A and B are shown apart, each in its own frame.
Chain A
Amino acid sequence: MKFAVLRFPGSNCDQDCIHALSTFPGTEADYVWHKDTSLGGADVVVVPGGFSYGDYLRTGSIARFSPIMKTVKEFAAAGGLVIGICNGFQILCESGLLPGALVRNRDLHFLCKHVYLRVEQTDTPFTNASTKGAVLNVPVAHGEGCYFADDETLKRLNAEGRVLVRYCDAQGQVSDASNPNGSKENIAGICNEGRNVFGLMPHPERACDPFLGSTDGSVIFQSLLNWPTSPLRKSAA
């Protein structure tokens, strides 16, 4: 499977994504420069974390004007798989590929630590290798990761099963105490209507190596690799 990892000026998790992907057999991963307009025949687009354009205005708000994002939108509209991690999630929201916005963390500080995520849906290209209710230990690192959407949008996201991961505690309980940044309804990651675009604040690429304390993030990448042959794919289609 071929992955295109986008590089914006200020991307800083691009090398990490390439490294993490390289540890999965059967993957091929290449950088795509933001000024390019071709994804080079990739099967999956990864929008990595970082501070695109310094995030001086609003996180992700300038990256959406990069030439490559027009191509990514067309790719997504045609059903192509897109995953946005951290700043990548913010960029996908700013680009209108995902609803809602990421705002300043509840306690105003940047926060880097391991958190727990509960897998809410498994009928997607991003979570099919997991099980419903599974608890994943994956780190977050962001200053603006508080997910916000209006009530109408939240209602739709819930009704359509588009919240894929929520912040929880080690036992899988979703509560205010297990919410690291004040996100609405502990939302850590959502997908689009077509279920082919996924954005999440936690960093699965930082949890693919036992030496880094957790390998729970690998289930996201494994799901992508399994998807072409997944029985769920047929039912989804």
Chain B
Amino acid sequence: MNEPAITPEIIAKHGLTPDEYERIQKILGRDPNFTELGVFSVMWSEHCSYKNSKPELRKFPTTGDTVLVKAGEENAGVIDVGDGWAVAFKMESHNHPSAVEPFQGAATGVGGIIRDIFTMGARPVFNLNSLRFGDIRGDSAEARTNRRLFAGVVSGIAHYGNCIGIPTIGGEVYFDESYSGNPLVNVFCLGVLKHEEIARGAASGIGNPVFYVGAETGRDGLAGAAFASRDLTEESKQDRPAVQVGDPFREKLLLEACLELLASGCVAGIQDMGAAGLTCSTCETASRGGTGVEIDLALVPKRETGMTPYETLLSESQERMLVIVKKGQEDSVRQIFEKWDLPYAEIGTVKDDGFMRVKENGVTVVEIPARSLADEAPIYNREVSEKNLPAPFDAATLPETDVTTALVSLMSHPSLASKRWVWRQYDHMVRLGATVLPGSDAAVFIVREANKILAATSDCNAIYCRLDPREGAKVAVAEAARNLACSGAVPLAVTDNLNFGNPHKPENFLMLREAVEGLAEACREFNTPVTGGNVSLYNESPNGTIDPTPTVGMVGQIADMKHVTTQAFKAAGDVILLLGNLGDEIGGSHYLKVVHGQKAGLPPRLDYATEKALHNGVREIIRKGLVQSAHDLSEGGIAVAVAESSLSAKPALGASIDLGSTGLRPDVALFNESQSRIIVSVTSENAAEAESVLKSLGVPVQRIGTVNSTGTLQIAADGKSYSWQLSDLETAWGETIGKLME
């Protein structure tokens, strides 16, 4: 065979260190050939092995009464939702591909996460996504690039999700210069299944045939996992072949065929081909099954001729699955694939020797112990720098600021502005479940087949995480749980996507460790086990490292349709209550960033007892039928929250607020981001009862105003009053993104 000789340069090009190469030689008892080197390179990449983050990930709480499949066991965790039904969900990143080719990068991200879910035997029912881009305002080349990336990612997500018929019902989009040239595309999918339908990705049953089904293998996405485990550089554009091309129609057929196949009882094990394609699926199924798998590449359906074993094994062509079939059931399996017009082939068998053995026309080209690839990658404890927290922000250093224009600036900042332009491009209504449309605190979805009401949200304030990763991560979990509580839901579990910079830099690794420990602690406090997720390191561009972004995806359950609550004010005359205190923490706030151009100060602190009491309180008054609307306070503080509740009403409703005597600067009073706060509106008849229930549960509560139909928003504090026309706020908030993108 004409394979390149293994040289130190070739080894380095594969992202393997000399030590790692030595380890490979020890495992094999010989030198690897070129194809084997490629196999080790992708399986031991950060993307597949988590070699830099594993010691940290072990800190997450992963067990609980409702956990049916734990994090790391299979492609996605599975959580009990009652009556024999369960949900499988997971979040995953496609940051690097999207930086290079935004449309296909995002589209294939969606395709990949959907496959992870139906591989578990679950029918995917909705998607969310969490996106981060550089600044899209202005005429600079950089802003134009960021707009191109934003537009491309959104249409890529729409293309894939809309075509396959899975609604994209919510998520978040933020814009910050730290993501310029290195956008974050974190996609989330949730599926539903019966307990007994959980499918396993293990190659069990010696002698069982191994089937390949789905799209033909091509040269696209060669070694994408290795590509995702490097910094983005000027040369990354040349890596475009490392980005795959998605075909949502093929995936729709694959999805229906696989669910039909799993229901038929012919399947012993199933695994999607995602990162590292055939390589990963064969060695992982063998490793999980404690078996070996032998395949012959000559049998693999291909769309190009002359592909080498290296290329075939490392291709990340999309929409492919590996299915271990119970011996004797091959014909039933063939019938289903033929019904759905899918290419398929029997490519190998399950063996008892623990090896991943790959042949081409009968000649062995790869022979590696499967376990060494899937579970025995080197693990590194990276160096961390010393922790150094900023001091609390001293508001006295700020110039006097006109809060009237400041609110308009905040509302029109792309991070806070309405994301209508985005979600109107997503089919969020297919599957007849979106009972709360995108744009509220959490998306709420009726899962028809299970007759369950689920709420889901994704959250992360990366400014907080940059300034104090531990507290920022805790707040991300708390905010997700708060969003769910405002929707009337009880949180069930969490999936996370850890987006960080190069782990070899001690300051980056410190951020990762701090954030993981913060997430882990908060997930324990809120009783939300982590069911899995994804780690994306090396998020660096020529501009520097991204702000650390540990995105939290949280799923909750609502007992009764009567409890489903939105952020929009409902009727003039309703009383507005503030649950929690007025707050005064301005460090790390969007006000500081947007109006004063500073990402500075100590971000707001989280107190678990206060936060948990708040969630219980708001859920209790919702259950008692006392609540018209509920909205958590986050970026932009109380002023932005009230404005959002006003503008979300149809038609918009005004509000008149009086914060009383706060003793604070007006900007601090209106825009501080202290945690554990919610505004709710209640009818005037219910106000007293709501207040007494909240007080009995230890939640501070005060009447701060009323909803009206004057067409204005008025906020008074310390004897001064500020007002805005709703129509001006609507222009600032509702139309900004659409205008920038036209």
Chain A positions within 8 Å of B, measured between CB atoms, are: 9-10, 12-13, 15-16, 19-20, 35, 49-51, 53-56, 109-113, 139, 141, 143, 203, 205-206, 209, 211-213
Contact = CB atoms under 8 A, between A and B. Distances in A.
A9 B251 CA distance: 11
B435 A212 contact: yes
Interface residues of B, number: 32
Contacts of B423: 112
Interface stretch (B8-16, B24-32, B162-170, B612-620): B162-170
Contact of B249 (A20, A54, A113, A205): A54
A98 to B, nearest CB: 23
A112 B252 contact: no
Given A112-B424, A139-B429, A203-B429, A55 B437 contact: no
Given A109-B424, A203-B429, A12 B165 contact: yes
Given A51-B162, A56-B249, A211-B435, A9 B428 contact: no
Nearest to B431: A16
B446 interface: yes
A13 B388 CA distance: 54
Nearest to B741: A109
B430 interface: yes
Contacts of A16: 430-432
A10 B252 contact: yes
9 contacts: A10-B163, A12-B430, A13-B430, A16-B430, A109-B155, A110-B158, A110-B424, A112-B428, A211-B564
A110 B424 CA distance: 7
Given A35-B339, A51-B249, A54-B252, 13 more contacts: A12-B164, A19-B432, A49-B430, A51-B162, A54-B163, A54-B249, A54-B250, A56-B249, A109-B424, A110-B427, A112-B429, A209-B432, A212-B434
Which one of A15, A16, A20, A211 has the highest number of Cβ atoms from chain B below 10 Å of its Cβ?
A211
A213 B650 CA distance: 12
Given A50-B165, A51-B162, A20 B428 contact: no
Contacts of A113: 424
Interface in B135-176: 155, 158, 162-165
B340 interface: yes
B248 interface: yes
B163 A55 contact: yes
Contact of A206 (B424, B432, B446, B448): B432
Interface string B416-442: 000000011111111110110100000
A203 B167 CA distance: 15
Contacts of B437: 213
B249 A111 contact: no
Contacts of A55: 163, 249
A177 to B, nearest CB: 15
Nearest to A17: B432
**A contact patch SS:** mixed
A209 B430 CA distance: 13
A19 B427 contact: no
Query: Ordered nearest first, which 4 A-B pairs have the shortest CB separation?
Result: A12-B165, A54-B249, A51-B163, A141-B427
Interface of B: 155, 158, 162-165, 247-250, 252-253, 339-341, 423-432, 434-435, 437, 446, 448, 561, 564
A10 B564 CA distance: 32
A12 B250 CA distance: 13
Given A19-B448, A211-B435, A213-B437, A9 B424 contact: no
Nearest to A108: B155
A49 B432 CA distance: 13
A143 B427 CA distance: 10
A10 B249 CA distance: 6
Which one of B162, B339, B425, B446 has the highest number of Cβ atoms from chain A below 10 Å of its Cβ?
B162
A213 B437 CA distance: 9
Contacts of B432: 16, 19-20, 205-206, 209, 212
B740 to A, nearest CB: 14
Contacts of A56: 249
B435 A111 contact: no
B429 A53 contact: no
Contacts of B165: 12-13, 50-51
A209 B427 CA distance: 18
B427 A112 contact: yes
A213 B446 CA distance: 13
Contacts of A35: 339
A162 B425 CA distance: 30
A5 to B, nearest CB: 14
A47 B715 CA distance: 53
B425 A110 contact: yes
B254 to A, nearest CB: 11
Contacts of A209: 432
Contacts of A13: 165, 430
A164 to B, nearest CB: 22
A206 B430 CA distance: 8
Contacts of A9: 249, 252-253, 340-341
Given A9-B249, A19-B432, A112 B426 contact: yes
B427 A51 contact: no
B340 A112 contact: no
Contacts of B340: 9
B429 A212 contact: yes
B413 to A, nearest CB: 23
A54 B247 contact: yes
A209 B429 CA distance: 12
A215 B434 CA distance: 14
Contacts of B341: 9
Contacts of A203: 429
B438 to A, nearest CB: 9
Given A109-B424, A112-B428, A141 B434 contact: no
A110 B162 contact: yes
B248 A54 contact: yes
Contacts of A143: 162
Given A54-B249, A211-B446, A211-B561, A141 B429 contact: yes
Nearest to B164: A12
Contacts of A53: 249
Contacts of B427: 110, 112, 141
B431 A15 contact: yes
Contacts of A139: 429
